[in-house]
């Protein structure tokens, strides 16, 4: 979910708006104002259609946000951290910090979203009936009631990572007691449904035109990728279970003087000796860290006379990992922060570096041993 805007926090959860949301919000508003409402409720002023269309669009996304908050509240209650909620072109997604601890927790978190949408459908339907004398308000509320009902029904399709797929995973997990097995079969079901959606889209291309099938294909493509990604995450997490930073091969960082010129560091240590990281020291006290990325950045600047002290990352700006930190958390941190290495400390003392390459080699070896 790169490329998103922060909107603030609800219950301590950051709420973000992906740039793709603006595209779908504009398309939806245009579709409602020029198509759905004029056809369903003829005779209104043109400005009324646009006001109602814009309001319905915003309230629909507010409903999606409440759907994701339903998941998030239950996740927090089950002591599963929620890192953020992002609204984007296909709706919304709540990013949780880890898998639920039990099948029961997975079921409760998954079902909370559809139940929230069902509650909203009832609320909007009741308000629409109460405001029947106001045609524009009643029409908007009736639309929101139907859409929330459809949102709940769609999300209960039993294909991972939809809510119904997570309910299916919870059932399989409770039956077999094996999260990997449950995730694998729930993900396969999700992929089968994704290909079904793509097939429906292709048929619509052939018989009713391009526009009628494009969304089916996009949704199928998204679900297929999400199902594959979700299973791969669970598999990686299993392979790294119990692995600590101290267990992963760490590259020792060579101590160098802060006055050492970058040209000499490259020639004498990177190219000749194959060193990949350096501690800039002053009387044996680390002052900063230099990685290959820092060296590359300095080389791109092509400034003669740069020293190690000038290109280092100061120690107080380095976010190191503790030797007992989980390798899975480190891998996720690297992906989220788009870094290729993390320094490792033991009681405040810098020991070396864990690289993304280290972790992937460790994962590969564990995967081959488990095969």
Distance CA 367, CA 371 (A): 6
**Cis omega (within 30 of 0) on the bond before 161?**
yes
Residue 128 shares a structural domain with residue 195: no
The overall pTM is greater than 0.85: no
Distance CA 366, CA 371 (A): 9
Distance CA 270, CA 290 (A): 12
Residue 37 shares a structural domain with residue 74: yes
**pLDDT of residue 244 exceeding 90:** no
pLDDT (mean) for 103-107: 94
Residue 22 shares a structural domain with residue 145: yes
Residue 235 shares a structural domain with residue 249: no
Residue where a domain terminates, one of 188, 210, 239: 239
Which DSSP category does 252 fall into?
P
Encode 324-351: b = buried (16+ Cβ within 10 Å), e = exposed. ebbbbebbbebeeeeeebbbbbeeeebb
pLDDT (mean) for 272-281: 78
Residue 78 shares a structural domain with residue 149: yes
Residue 169 lies in a domain: no
Longest dimension (CA), the chain: 83
| pLDDT per residue as tens digits for the range 202-212 | 888 777 765 66
Residue 144 shares a structural domain with residue 228: no
3-state secondary structure of 112: helix
More confident residue, 257 or 238: 257
Residue 13 lies in a domain: yes
Provide CB contacts within 8 A for 334, sequence distance 6+.
340, 341, 342, 356, 359
Instruction: Give the β-pairing of 91-96 and 254-257.
Output: unpaired
Residue where a domain terminates, one of 156, 189, 208: 156
Residue where a domain terminates, one of 127, 156, 185: 156
Residue 293 lies in a domain: yes
368 is known as an active-site residue:
no
More confident residue, 99 or 144: 144
Helix residue ranges per DSSP H, the chain? 20-31, 37-40, 46-77, 103-130, 135-155, 163-176, 179-208, 210-239, 262-265, 292-301, 308-311, 327-337, 356-370
The pLDDT score that the predictor gives to residue 70 is 93
Structure tokens that stand for 336 in this block: 């989220």
Residue 38 lies in a domain: yes
CATH number at residue 345: 3.10.580.10
Residue 208 shares a structural domain with residue 228: yes
Residue 85 lies in a domain: yes
State which residues form the domain around 213.
177-239
Structural domains in the chain (count)? 3
Residue 164 lies in a domain: no
Residue 355 shares a structural domain with residue 325: yes
Residue 333 lies in a domain: yes
Residue 274 shares a structural domain with residue 333: yes
Residue 171 lies in a domain: no
The pLDDT score that the predictor gives to residue 299 is 64
Please report which confidence band the pLDDT of residue 76 belongs to, taking 50, 70 and 90 as the band edges: very high
Please report which confidence band the pLDDT of residue 302 belongs to, taking 50, 70 and 90 as the band edges: low
Residue 9 CB coordination number (10 Å): 11
Distance CA 288, CA 191 (A): 47
Catalytic residue among 68, 275, 325, 341: 68
The pLDDT score that the predictor gives to residue 228 is 84
Residue 120 shares a structural domain with residue 33: yes
pLDDT (mean) for 335-340: 70
Residue 255 shares a structural domain with residue 195: no
Provide CB contacts within 8 A for 265, sequence distance 6+.
256, 278, 290, 295, 308
Among candidate residues 184, 189, 214, the one with its CA nearest the CA of residue 200: 214
More confident residue, 239 or 299: 239
Residue 259 shares a structural domain with residue 214: no
Among candidate residues 167, 140, 151, 150, the one with its CA nearest the CA of residue 92: 151
Residue 23 CB coordination number (10 Å): 12
Average pLDDT, the chain: 83
């Amino acid at each position: 979910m790169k490329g998103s805007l922060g909107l603030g926090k609800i219950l301590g959860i950051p709420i973000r708006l992906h740039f793709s949301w603006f595209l779908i919000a504009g398309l939806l508003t245009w579709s409602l104002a020029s198509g759905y409402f004029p056809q369903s409720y003829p005779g209104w002023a043109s400005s009324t259609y646009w006001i109602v269309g814009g309001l319905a669009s915003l309230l629909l996304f507010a409903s999606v946000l409440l759907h994701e908050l339903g998941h998030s509240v239950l996740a927090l209650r089950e002591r599963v951290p929620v890192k953020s909620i992002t609204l984007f072109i296909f709706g919304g997604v709540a990013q949780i910090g880890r898998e639920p601890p039990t099948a029961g927790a997975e079921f409760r978190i998954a079902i909370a979203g559809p139940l929230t949408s069902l509650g909203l459908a009832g609320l909007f339907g009741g308000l629409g009936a109460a405001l029947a004398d106001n045609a524009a308000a009643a029409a908007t509320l009736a639309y929101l009631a139907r859409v929330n009902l459809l949102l709940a029904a769609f999300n209960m399709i039993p294909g991972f990572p939809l809510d119904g797929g997570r309910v299916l995973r919870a059932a399989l997990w409770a039956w077999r007691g094996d999260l990997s097995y449950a995730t694998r079969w729930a993900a396969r079901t999700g992929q089968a449904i994704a290909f079904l959606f793509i097939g429906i889209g292709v048929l619509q291309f052939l018989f009713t035109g391009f526009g009628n099938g494009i969304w089916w294909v996009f949704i199928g493509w998204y679900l297929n990728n999400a199902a594959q990604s979700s299973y791969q995450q669970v598999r990686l997490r299993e392979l790294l279970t119990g692995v600590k930073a101290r267990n992963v091969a760490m590259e020792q960082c060579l101590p160098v003087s802060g006055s050492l010129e970058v040209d000499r560091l490259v020639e004498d240590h990177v190219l000749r000796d194959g060193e990949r990281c350096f501690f800039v020291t002053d009387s044996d006290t680390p002052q900063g860290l230099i990685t290959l990325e820092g060296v590359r950045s300095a080389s791109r600047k092509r400034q003669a006379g740069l020293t190690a002290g000038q290109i280092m990352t100061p120690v107080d700006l380095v976010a190191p990992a503790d030797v007992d930190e989980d390798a899975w958390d480190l891998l996720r941190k690297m992906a989220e922060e788009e870094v290729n290495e993390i320094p490792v400390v033991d009681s405040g003392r810098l020991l070396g570096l864990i690289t993304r390459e280290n972790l992937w080699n460790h994962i590969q070896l564990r995967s081959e041993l488990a095969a």
